Every structure is written in structure tokens, then in C-alpha cells.
Amino acid sequence: MNTHKRIAVGMSGGIDSTVTAYLLKEKGYEVIGLTMKIWNGSDACNAVRSGCYGPGEASDIEDAQKGARRLGIEHHVIDLCGEYGQTVLGYFSDEYTEGRTPNPCVMCNSRIKFGSLIEKARSTGISFDLFATGHYARITYDAAVRRYLLKRGVDEFKDQSYFLYRLSQGQLSNVLFPLGDYSKEEVRALALKAGFGEYIEKKESQDFLEFDDYAALLKEPPLPGNIVDTDGNVIGRHRGIAFYTVGQRRGLGLAGMKEPLHVLRINAAKNEIIAGPKAQLMNDVLIASDLNWIAPFDEWPDQPVRAKIRSTAVPALCSILPESETSVMVHFDEAQDSITPGQSIVFYRGDIVLGGGFIKVSFNK
């Protein structure tokens, strides 16, 4: 990089993206702000939390514009309602309809934030050399293999590399994550120094939706069906498979059983939920498909691989075996709790993100 580069920053109106823009400007770069508009307002609802999708977007856009004005940088709002609806909301609905639990943040990052946003901004005549966001992750270039590597952020509690594993080499080569070398506390201190103290108090988006009832996002209304035990006996009724996920206990309406029961599997073809004791949620093998490899796992055969089956999971030791041309079989050293079809599994060697895919099924060897 050099001081003549023009960098676009994806500004959400929060502390992380605002500090990202501040840091880059302080380093002498010409900085512009880009903010996505994805909420089309067609779904009548009230925001009950801070999230990525919901009626609170107008306030976030206003905060992003305010931050850009204070920094003295150019700012643009890019309307991506159509792209987001087709790509992320369509995927969200399809996955739940098929009895899987979607991961909309993963899809949004690879297809919208680091895809459509950049493409649409440039198509409207906005020019820039690189794109930066406030993600807590790092990118390095390995000259030996001529490949960009994605790494965990230094702040293990804020690391967001799990949500970025689907980025391509083309995307990684044009992206900056300035906060990857900072802790959250250091970012808060920078916000105070830059005069953005009020952004510290702003509630951060921890959820996909700002509202509870996501039935309005589904293409077809959920249909009630049976809850069965592992022998196929009907033990209750559910209100639609889209409202349940593997591991769930609350909301099943199965009081009076000998022991608490959890969702073990969801059979979309039969519109059926299979429930059982928590012990049956432990599995040590899974199959993942729709893979994206940033650094192929077989390049370092003597180094241990760890995997996360959800963003909040502790990376667990595993081995990876090709299962087909498009899928792998993953064997964990220790059984994992509530492996959920539709969620992402992400593989790591130390701080390096090897890649990942979507969980298809799990079982015990």
C-alpha cells in the first residue's frame, strides 16, 4: 500500500467501522465511506434488539453519515435491497424450509458485503482501490505459494474469521482488516481519542434480525407437524420446522417426560421433528459440502487441524478425509455437542483459516 491509494470503508454506523475509517485516514489514505441499505421496510415489525436486518437500519445509516462528516470523508449509501433479498433472505428461507439452520452472516459477507456492495458502488462511478471493514481478522500474503491467507484476529474474544471463510483469493487480495491487530479495548480507546466516545455506548449488532418473528421472511407459511421419539412414536406437535433447530429444548411443549428432550434431527420430507435426550446430541463425525478452501488442508499434513462447528464453539481437533469431489468427512477426536445441519464448519491450523463448508449430516463412527 501507499499513501496515494483510495480506500472505501464499509461503514455500519458502529464503533468498529468508524474507527477503521479513522485509522486509515490517520495513515494518510484517501478514505470514502460506503453503507449498505438492505431493509426494504416491507415486513411490518418492531425492533426488539440490535441486528443487521430490521427497521433500525435508518438510524445506523444516519450514524454512519454522521461519522463520515466528522471525519471529513465522502460517504455513499448503496441500495442493495434487491440483491440482499434474493441472495441472503432467499437462502434464509430455503434453508429453514429444508429443515436446516442457515448462517446468513456467512452468506452476506461473501456474496453481499464483499461482493455486491463493491460491484454496485463501482458501477455507479465510485472509484477506489481497496475495500476495508471493521472485522476482527487478518490477511497476509504467502509469497512461497502465491496465496493470500486469512487469519484469526489477535483478540480471541472478538475474532470474526469464522464468518469470512468463504472469501475468495480475488476478494482477499483487495480487502483490508485494519482492526485485526487490535483488541476491542484498544479500539474503544481509539474511539475516545478520535472524538467518537458516544459510539462506545451504542449497542453492537449481535444478531441477524432485529425482531423475533421471522415467519414473514419465509416463502411459504410453516406447517404444524409431529414430534416423534427415536422409535418413531408421536410424542407431541410442532408449529413448523422452521421454528426449531438441532439442540433446542425450550418450546417443544414436551413437559412430563422422564427426562428433558431436545431436537435431535429435523426431517423436512415428513415435516417431522425427532426429539431425544441430550446425550444423543453428541456426535464425532460429520459430512460437510459446498466447500471453500483458502489454504488446502493437505498442504501441511503433519500439522494438527482444528474445526469450529459454530461461531461460538471452541476449535476442536479433527481429521479431514475427502468424501467425494464436493464434500469431506470430518472425524473429531472428541464428540461434539449439537452439530447442526446448515451451519458452517470452519477449519484452522493455528491462526490460519484453511477454509470450510456447510454441515450436511452428523453421526457416530
Predicted confidence (pLDDT) per residue in 17-51, tens digit = 999 999 999 999 999 999 999 998 866 667 677 78
Dihedral sign computed on CA atoms, order 232, 233, 234, 239: negative
Integer Cα distance of 252 and 196 in angstroms: 45
pLDDT reading at 300 higher than 80: no
**Which pLDDT value is given to residue 282?**
98
Evaluate whether residue 347 is within a structural domain.
yes
pLDDT tens across 315-354, in order?
A: 999 999 999 988 999 999 999 999 999 999 999 999 999 9
How confident is the model over 230-255, as a mean pLDDT? Answer: 95
Identify the domain containing residue 84 by its residue range: 6-209
In a domain, 84, yes or no: yes
Q: Could you report the per-residue pLDDT of 279-295, keeping only the tens digit for each?
A: 999 999 999 999 999 99
Among the residues of the chain, which ranges form H helices? 15-26, 57-71, 81-84, 90-97, 104-107, 117-123, 169-172, 184-193, 197-201
CB 139 within 8 A of CB 152: no
- pLDDT in the model for residue 66: 97
pLDDT for 239 equals 94
pLDDT (tens digit per residue) in 345-359: 999 999 999 999 999
Quick: pLDDT tens for 183-201.
999 999 999 999 999 989 8
Residue scoring higher pLDDT (213 or 226): 226
Residue 343 and residue 228 in one domain? no
Asked if 67 and 190 sit in the same domain, the reply is yes
| pLDDT tier at 298, thresholds 50, 70, 90 | confident
Q: Please tell me the predicted confidence (pLDDT) of residue 262.
A: 97
Q: Is residue 265 part of a domain?
A: yes
Residue by residue, DSSP assigns 6-52 as EEEEE--SSHHHHHHHHHHHHTT-EEEEEEEE---S-S-----S-EE
What CATH number corresponds to the domain at position 98?
3.40.50.620
Q: Average pLDDT over the chain, rounded to whole?
A: 94
| pLDDT (0 to 100) of residue 6 | 97
Asked whether residue 269 is assigned to any structural domain, the reply reads yes
Comparing 22 with 1, the larger pLDDT belongs to 22
Tell me if 217 is assigned to some domain.
no
Domain assignment of residue 1, yes or no: no
> Tell me, what DSSP letter sits at residue 258?
S
Q: What is the pLDDT of residues 125-167, one digit of tens each?
A: 999 999 999 999 999 999 998 999 999 999 999 999 999 999 9
CATH of the domain at 245: 2.30.30.280
Of 202, 194, 137, which Cα lies nearest the Cα of 163? 137
Three-class SS of residue 234?
strand
Same domain (yes/no): 68, 13:
yes
Q: Specify the pLDDT at position 44.
A: 61
Number of domains in the chain: 3
Residue 2 has pLDDT above 80, yes or no: no
DSSP category for residue 290: E
Whether 114 and 193 map to the same domain: the answer is yes
Asked if residues 160 and 138 have their Cβ atoms less than 8 Å apart, the reply is no
Q: Could you tell me if residue 66 is inside a domain? A: yes
Given this model, what pLDDT does residue 51 score? 83
> Do 30 and 158 fall into the same domain?
yes
Q: How confident is the model at residue 3 (pLDDT cuts 50, 70, 90)?
A: low
Share of the chain above pLDDT 70, in %: 97
CB distance 8 to 122 below 8 Å:
no
pLDDT of res. 150: 98
* CB contact set of 316 (below 8 Å; sequence gap of 6+): 306, 307, 308, 309, 332, 333, 334, 336
Is residue 82 classed exposed, middle or buried when 0-12, 13-18 and 19+ CB atoms within 10 A define those classes? exposed
